[in-house]
Structure 1
Amino acid sequence: MSVELSPPEISYLGEDDADFFQNVDGRILNTLNPRYMLPVDRDEVKRSELHHRLLQFVFGGKNYIGPVKEALQFGEHRRILDLGTGGGFWAIDMADNFPRAEVIGIDLAPIQPRLRAVPPNCTFELCDLDQWNIPYPDNHFDFIHARSVHCGIHNYPQLLREITRLLRPGGLVLLIEPNLTPLVDGKSAGDSSSDSGLRGWLTLWETYRACLTRKGIDVTVPECLGNHLMATKSFERVMVQDGNIPVGFWPSDPHLLTVGQLQWMDYELFLPALRPLFLSFGMPQSTVHRIIADAQQDLYHPSVPLSARLHIVYASKRY
Structure 2
Amino acid sequence: MFSAGLDGLFPARAREDIQQALRVRIGYPKPAVLDIGTGSGAWCIDMAKAFPDADFVGMDLVPVKAGSVPPSNCHFEVGNADTDLAKMYTAESFDLIHARSMMQGIKDFSSFFQSLWRMLRPGGVLLTVDGAYTSWDEERRQIEYKEEGQPGFSWFRKMCYHMFEVLKARNPSADLTYCVTDCVRGVGDDAWKKVDVFDLYFPVGMFDSPTLSPSERLGGKLYTENLSRIPDSVRPMLLSSSLTPEEVDRLAAEFRAELKEPKVKQFFQFICTWTVKK
TM tier, smaller: 0.7 to 0.9
- Bigger CA drift: 261-270 or 211-220? 211-220
Aligned-pair CA distance for 1:150: 1.0
Partner SS, residue 109 of structure 1: coil
Q: How far, CA to CA, are the matches of 2:254 and 2:173 in structure 1? A: 26
Structure 1: runs of 5 or more not aligned: 1-53
- Contact kept? 1:82, 1:104, Cα under 8 Å: yes
Aligned-pair CA distance for 1:177: 0.4
CA distance change for structure 1 residues 255 and 199 in 2, over 3 Å: closer, same or farther?
closer
Counterpart of 2:19?
Answer: 69
- Give the alignment of 1:249-288 within 5 angstroms: 249-251=206-208, 254-281=214-241, 283-288=243-248
- Contact kept? 2:21, 2:125, Cα under 8 Å: yes
CA distance change for structure 1 residues 191 and 281 in 2, over 3 Å: closer, same or farther?
closer
Structure 2 residue identity aligned to 1:97: A
- Give the alignment of 1:94-133 within 5 angstroms: 94-113=47-66, 117-133=69-85
- Contact kept? 2:132, 2:178, Cα under 8 Å: yes
* 2:4 equivalent to 1:57: yes
CA distance change for structure 1 residues 98 and 254 in 2, over 3 Å: closer, same or farther?
closer
> What is the aligned counterpart of 1:291 among 251, 263, 267?
251
Counterpart of 1:190?
Answer: 144
Partner SS, residue 295 of structure 1: helix
Aligned-pair CA distance for 1:151: 1.4
Structure 2 residue identity aligned to 1:285: P
Aligned-pair CA distance for 1:284: 3.1
Counterpart of 2:43?
Answer: 90
Structure 1 residue identity aligned to 2:143: A
- Contact kept? 1:153, 1:217, Cα under 8 Å: no
Counterpart of 1:309?
Answer: 269
Aligned residue pairs: how many?
Answer: 264
Q: How far, CA to CA, are the matches of 1:55 and 1:278 in structure 2? A: 25
CA distance change for structure 1 residues 218 and 278 in 2, over 3 Å: closer, same or farther?
same
Counterpart of 1:51?
Answer: none
> What is the aligned counterpart of 2:182 among 227, 233, 246?
227
Aligned-pair CA distance for 1:183: 2.5
- Contact kept? 2:82, 2:108, Cα under 8 Å: yes
CA distance change for structure 1 residues 254 and 282 in 2, over 3 Å: closer, same or farther?
closer
Q: How far, CA to CA, are the matches of 1:125 and 1:281 in structure 2? A: 32
- Contact kept? 2:206, 2:260, Cα under 8 Å: no
* 2:170 equivalent to 1:170: no
* 2:201 equivalent to 1:244: yes
- Contact kept? 2:200, 2:271, Cα under 8 Å: yes
- Contact kept? 1:63, 1:93, Cα under 8 Å: no
Aligned-pair CA distance for 1:208: 1.1
Structure 2: runs of 5 or more not aligned: none
Structure 2 residue identity aligned to 1:136: Y
RMSD: 2.3
Counterpart of 2:168?
Answer: 213
Aligned-pair CA distance for 1:271: 2.4
Q: How far, CA to CA, are the matches of 2:253 and 2:6 in structure 1? A: 33
Aligned-pair CA distance for 1:224: 1.4
